[in-house]
Amino acid sequence: MKRRFTKIPPLIFGLMLVGQALLAQFTVTGRVVDETGEGLIGVSISARGTALGAITDIDGDFSLEVSGNEATLEFTYVGYVTAEVDVTSGSAPLQVVMEAGSTQLDEVVVTGLATSVKRTNLANSVASIPASEISGIAVPTTTDAALYGKFKGVNISANSGAPGGGISFRLRGTTSISGSSQPLFIIDGIYIDNSSIPAGLNIVSAAAGGGSTSNQDNPSNRLADIDPNDIEKIEVLKGASAAAIYGSRASGGVVIITTKRGQAGRTKVRLSQSVGMTQILNPQGVREFTEERLLAPGSRFATNPVHLERFRAAVAAGQIHDYEDELFGNKGSLYNSRLTISGGNDRTQFFIGGTYKDEEGIVNKTGFSKEALRLNLNHTFSNWLDAGVTTNYIHSSADRGFFNNDNSTYTMGVSLSQTPSFAQLSADENGNFAANPYAGSNFLETADQITNNEEVNRFLSGATVTAKVFTTGSTSLKLILNGGVDYYNLNTTALFPNSLQFERDGNHLNGVSVQGATKNLNTNAAAFLVFSHFFSNGLSSRTQLGVTQEKFDRNTILGEASNLIGSQTNLDQAGTRNVTQDRLIQEDKGFFVQEELNWKDRLIATVGVRGDKSSNNGDVNKLYYYPKASLAVNLHEFDFLSGEALSQVKLRIAYGQSGNFAKFGSKYTSFLSGVVDGNPGIEIDILQGNSEVGPERQTELEFGIDLGALNNRLLLDVTYYIKSVEDLLLEANVPLSSGFQQKVVNAAALENKGIEIGLDFEVVRSSDFEWNTRLSWWKNDAEVTELLVPSYTTGGFADFLGQFRIKQGHSPTEIIGVGPNPDEDGLVVFGDAEPDFQMSFFNTLRWKSFDLAFLWHWKKGGQAVNLSALLFDLGQTTHDYDDFTLDPTGATSNGVFRVNNVGVDSDPYIEDASYIRLREIGLYYSLPKSLFNDVVQLKVGFSGTNLINIFDYNSYDPEVSNFGSDELSSQVEVNPFPSSKRFDFHVIAEF
């Protein structure tokens, strides 16, 4: 054996420390059972301080050779409290009873690309939530929506309420100004695509035709495809100190999603069905007109007698409408069906999950449907080789309506804002809608006749092979190979038939059909070697070495047809056709090495470095290095603290760096194409590329303390972090006379500082009653610490309407406008998109057969730019138009006051976006088992999402983003699809 040992290539060999000869050894045997005496299959047993381990077989039996004369065995099993047993060479066969349930501290956290660490030994504050909190309380419409308020330091906000999602993340503050701050999502080792791909609605909305050239189509982000019910656990690495090993893609943080796996034992079948209803979260109401109001000075209805005639006719006919209710009043029905089958034996385990979802939206003909199927398989080939495969097919379809900003008054929201209650828009008995004399479109007709659909067919698959190359008493070497594929086809269909008010009779483009096809293929592969060595003095070392490779290939073809032939929608059934194509190709390669040292679980130190290169950089073969180091000190493991009141005292400090790529294309200065009279031409693009462009670099230092008391029933963790980002890429505005508009430069730095505090308390634990509560509090402050270009405003429409300003010494999410006492830029600071703090309060209670869980979420502070109110005011239809609550002199009504301040004082439209919400609540009752002989469990329940909302904000919801996930542009709203609340009734049966 020794002889073969020396054949290992020197490269690996150099990393190893050869184990010392062992003195003595003995064999421990025994059986592991649950509280009912049933044998547990697949329980991991390890001898502390050694590389030795075993797994229980189909009966729960195990046998393990250990060295020396005594040892401590650790028994770990998902869903059970970790057990420890001391054994000696003379011990009789063991009978170990494992207790169901687990405390947070038992959890294993994935920290390396190939390894994990016990939470108690972790030097970072890594947030993690289990399945029971992801999909166990209420029905999350999308995976990202399941995470609201559940992670400290994570700011999640919906871009709109449209079915199918559209959510942006910010982990510990803004990490980029012109690049993306969205985290990297990894599901079972697969790098998944989370793009938001526009459907080409701009041809109709002309949203990019005015003050903003940004795409405001508001597509959903593709994380929406992932079924939250499949998820076993979500971990969030919030900053570079935890995410450094993910290198150049990790600046926005990393969200690691682990899906459910089968467990050996009885085959479990779980069937759940929920039926629910959704409705608008916060209806505004409509302005009530009177003849006096109609004819008031300044009224847009006073200039022509036709309005008064319409009003009188409407009153006489009893036809005064609540158009908000007619547009948003749909009580959408919600159906979710779910079947899971899982089980297996000691060598092969499987998990099958199937979901069918059909949910309507609050606007007529909108909705979201999804069918998803997952098969996860694990197989142990031999005692040294095992493999796991995950496969997931998803089909989803979202009908999202037509909302957000426009420059045409064709979107439903903008049209609504221009339409008074006495307009007559309803369809006649033949289904023909009247033209809306107050806006370019009749939103009831638009809702009825347009299509704005996103349909996805997606296939995700990943595989991991783990081979134990060798194991001795004190050393082991593992090889892990991992690969993943994420492939999808997205078809967007936007149909605006020529029967619409704004497309018929030669208007606009006489019918528009926009169809997009996106093909996306991400592939990733990695190989790791993990070498562990246990020294006799209680020190253990784990060395990892790995290489990674990722490829991204996306191709979007968008066809626009107008001048449609009759009611045809095919692209070729049109007089005018245009096509555009957009491609993204990127290849990254990297390596990493990491060394962990653990001294008796008392001191845990880690150092590592990642090196990355990418075709996205100016110099494609330059390696960028991202180091990390961390130290955790478990004071309670030292003798001087053991047995004290505090069951856990951990001090931790972690440092790391990570990167963020420039937007694809930043290194190119290219031409766009233009056609004149059938001849193609080339037009210089507005972006002056930077052939030297490299990634942004984030450095994070975090430190904190974890305390446990009352035998860890009470846990407190406090974390402080300083996260600075250098070489921030700016699409800096350049003098327009250069012919360019923007140039990519590394020209800024910013810093986020924040505090996160968590308190977990198992208040009561008895056989009849359990109460667990968790209180989380977090805040973040950001500042632009360096700016090499002049300060500038961005992210909105115009300074006087409220925008963000990038200025040294100020917050990057500061909202400015015009008003009295301007600063040196001629601007006034009205607020900041960043909240003062956020807090969540999560409780689970069990009383006999009843389970109750609820989550409160409080966001304090943070402003938003409410341009919906502006458009309603300009249309003179705002619900509070005639109230007198704003003008300090009492002279003008709210609507008039706000409009009079346009261009003078931006204050009225920049509002506090604080809220308190009952995010989720679920109440379940388990029927007595004695009622059934073939059902293990039957539960019925009720759940609700966003049932209680408290805010002052003068629109549907303070959580908005007209510009989608663009980093700095969240918190600007222009007549979005309103948010909704939902109620669901559940029946869950387990066989």
Shortest Cβ distance from residue 119 to another protein (Å)?
29
DSSP string, 794-858: ESSS-GGG-EEEE-TTS-TTEEEE--SS--TTS-EEEEESS-SEEEEEEEEEEETTEEEEEEEEE
Q: Does 821 bind another protein (CB under 8 A)?
A: no
Task: Tell me how far, at minimum, the Cβ of 911 lies from another protein, in Å.
Answer: 18
Confirm or reject binding of residue 434 to another protein (CB under 8 A). no
Is residue 793 at the binding interface for another protein, with CB under 8 A as the rule?
Answer: yes
Q: Residue written as tokens 């239809």?
A: 877
Minimal distance, residue 407 CB to another protein, in Å: 4
**Residues in 588-627 at the binding interface with another protein, rule: CB under 8 A:** 588-591, 611, 613-615, 620-621, 623
Residues 480-539 that bind another protein (CB under 8 A): 481, 502, 506-509, 527, 529
CB nearer another protein, residue 315 or residue 798: 798
Q: Dihedral (C-alpha) 168, 169, 173, 175: value to the nearest 10 degrees?
A: -80
Q: What is the distance between the alpha carbons of residues 825 and 808, in angstroms, rounded to a whole number?
A: 12
Residue 316 binds to another protein (criterion: CB under 8 A): no
Is 545 a residue that touches another protein (CB under 8 A)?
yes
Distance set, CA 88 to CA 27, 56, 72 (Å):
10, 20, 9
Q: Which of 268, 300, 602, 939 binds another protein (CB under 8 A)?
A: 300
Q: Does 387 bind another protein (CB under 8 A)?
A: no
Alpha-carbon distance 970 to 834, whole Å?
Answer: 10
State yes or no: residue 885 binds another protein (CB under 8 A). Answer: no
SS3 257: strand
Pick one of 80, 422, 800, 953: the residue that binds another protein (CB under 8 A). 800
| Residue 746 or 793 having the CB closest to another protein | 793
Q: Does residue 695 belong to the site contacting another protein (CB under 8 A)?
A: no
User: Contact region for another protein (CB under 8 A) — 92-100, 473-481, 597-605, 982-990?
Assistant: 473-481
73 neighbors 82 (Cβ within 8 angstroms) = no
Please say which residue, 170 or 810, places its beta carbon nearer to another protein. 810
Instruction: Please tell me the distance from the alpha carbon of residue 772 to that of residue 789, in angstroms, as a whole number.
Output: 51
Among 258, 660, 688, 863, binds another protein (CB under 8 A): 688
According to CB under 8 A, which one of 320, 467, 845, 927 is a site residue for another protein? 467
Q: Are 400 and 409 in contact (CB under 8 A)?
A: no
Question: Pairing between strand 980-990 and 814-817?
Answer: unpaired
**SS3 of residue 292 by DSSP:** helix
Q: Interface with another protein includes 214 (CB under 8 A)? A: no
Question: Measured between alpha carbons, how far is 719 from 751 in angstroms, rounded to an integer?
Answer: 16
Within 722-781, which residues bind another protein (CB under 8 A)? 733-741
Check binding of 414 to another protein (CB under 8 A). yes
According to DSSP, residue 558 is labeled E
For residue 767, the SS3 value is coil
- Furthest-apart CA atoms within the chain: distance in Å: 105
Q: Which stretch binds another protein (CB under 8 A): 110-118, 227-235, 274-282, 437-445?
A: 437-445
- Cβ of residue 675: shortest distance to another protein, in angstroms? 5
Buried b (16+ CB within 10 A) or exposed e, 284-294: bebbebeeebb
Query: Does 566 contact another protein by CB under 8 A?
Result: no
Compare residues 613 and 807 and give the one whose CB is closer to another protein: 613
User: Of 295, 291, 312, which is closest to residue 303 (Cα–Cα)?
Assistant: 295
681 makes contact with another protein (CB under 8 A): yes
Residue 3 interacting with another protein (CB under 8 A):
no
Tell the smallest beta-carbon distance from residue 403 to another protein (Å): 14
Using the minimum distance from each CB to another protein, give the nearer residue, 217 or 700: 217
Q: What residue type is 339 in one-letter code?
A: L
Question: Sign (positive/negative) of CA torsion 131, 136, 137, 140?
Answer: positive
Residue 799 in contact with another protein, rule: CB under 8 A: yes
The alpha carbon dihedral of 887, 890, 895, 899 has a sign of: negative
For the CB of residue 11, give the shortest distance to another protein in the complex, in Å: 6
Residue span binding another protein (CB under 8 A) among the ranges 156-164, 676-684, 830-838, 850-858: 676-684
Report the residue number, 457 or 578, with the smaller CB distance to another protein: 578
**Count of residues that interact with another protein, criterion CB under 8 A:** 124
Q: Does 679 engage in binding with another protein (CB under 8 A)?
A: yes
- Residue number with CB closer to another protein (332 or 590): 590
Question: Residue 625 CB: number of other CB atoms within 10 A?
Answer: 14
Task: Kindly state the smallest distance separating residue 187's Cβ from another protein, in Å.
Answer: 23
CB-wise, 310 or 723, nearer to another protein? 310
In the shown chain, the binding pattern of residues 897 to 936 toward another protein, with x for contact by CB under 8 A and - for none, equals ---x-xxx--------------------------------
Cα torsion angle, 951, 956, 957, 962, sign: negative
Residues 856-875 that bind another protein (CB under 8 A): 870-871, 874-875
Q: Is residue 100 within the footprint of another protein (CB under 8 A)?
A: no
Q: Write down the least CB distance from residue 89 to another protein, Å.
A: 15
Q: Is the backbone of residue 435 left (phi > 0), alpha (psi -120 to 50) or beta? A: beta
Q: Alpha-carbon distance 945 to 277, whole Å? A: 11
DSSP 8-class letter at 221: B
CB atoms within 10 A of CB 36: 7
Which residue in 804, 862, 816 sits closest to 835, CA to CA? 862
For residue 304, state whether it binds another protein (rule: CB under 8 A): yes
Residue 67, token pair as written in the block? 């060295």
Please answer whether residues 612 and 585 qualify as being in contact, where contact means their C-beta atoms are separated by less than 8 angstroms: no
| Shortest distance, position 153 Cβ to another protein, whole Å | 32
Query: Does residue number 683 form part of the binding site for another protein (CB under 8 A)?
Result: yes
Q: Is 68 in the site for another protein (CB under 8 A)?
A: no
Asked if 549 is part of the footprint of another protein (rule: CB under 8 A), the reply reads yes
Residue nearer to another protein on the CB measure, 104 or 594: 594
Residue 239 or 695: the one with the smaller Cβ distance to another protein is 695
Binding status of residue 275 toward another protein by CB under 8 A: no
* C-alpha–C-alpha distance, residues 13 and 6, integer Å: 8
Q: How far is the CB of 213 from another protein (least distance, A)?
A: 8
Distance in angstroms (rounded) separating the CA atoms of residues 787 and 746 = 10
